[in-house]
Amino acid sequence: MKFVHDLIEFEKIKDGMTTFGRYYETPKGKQYPSVTTVIGKADKSQGLIEWRKRIGEVEADKILYQAGQIGTAVHKIIEDYLNNDEDYLTEHQYANIDLFKTLQPILDTRVNNIRAQEAALYSDFLKVGGRVDCIAEFDGKLSIIDFKTSRSPKKEEWIESYFMQAAAYAVMFEERTQIPITQLVILITGTYGSQIFIKQRDNYIKQFMKLRVRFEKDLLELQGET
């Protein structure tokens, strides 16, 4: 499979870390929190808190670290594959290759005409920045495509944060290019197989905007305490 690319050049923006999380600095010097930082601060569900208490902080941190390493590796395989790199599997662990292969048929048959990969974006309207996994046509429709790994199958109601994240990327992309994107695609891979979730931007962007306001309020309160 050879993927067609029609890549868009974006302005270079810096990113870094503060005590409040990752931020992006725009060409005009404005600093905005990352999408994942905004969502992460609000996504401290009671279930997650109870899970950490149940297995212990050390074990929880170990599991989350391992999950992060796996996710990074699988993302790299997908990125190289979509870039038509013949060596996309070189030096990767078999377990991560197996996770990629659950998504490979989906990529081959439903993804093409790639506009961006691992692109850093920002929005002055939302006052956030972020790095989108992939912007391409999915089933012939330009989409925000986000890749996730998971230890177990996900239910739709568990992953609204994924849809909000993708909705924010859609707004950022449109602000930078004047090209609207309404379709959000979340592709999840695990040892159990793969999952596909297709959603619409306008069903989730208002939820994200509420989180952004809440994040700003919490940040101001924290800064007032320091």
Q: State yes or no: pLDDT of 46 exceeds 50.
A: no
SS3 assignment, position 182: coil
pLDDT score of 155 more than 50:
yes
Quote the crossing angle between the two packed helices 94-110 and 57-82, to the nearest 10°.
50
pLDDT in tens, 114-125: 999 999 999 999
What angle is formed at CA 196 by the lines to CA 190 and CA 197, rounded to 5 degrees? 125
Is the pLDDT at 44 greater than 60? The verdict is no
Nearest to 74 by CA among 182, 173, 187: 187
Backbone angles phi, psi at 153, to 5 degrees: -60, 145
Looking at domain 14-225, its CATH architecture is: Alpha-Beta Complex (3.90)
87: left (phi over 0), alpha (psi -120 to 50) or beta: alpha
Q: 167-176: per-residue pLDDT in tens?
A: 999 999 999 9
State mean pLDDT over 186-208: 97
Question: Could you state, in order of their start, the residue ranges of all structural domains in the chain?
Answer: 14-225
What's the mean pLDDT in 87-101? 95
Determine the pLDDT at residue 61.
Answer: 59
Give the confidence band of 40 by pLDDT, cuts at 50, 70, 90: confident
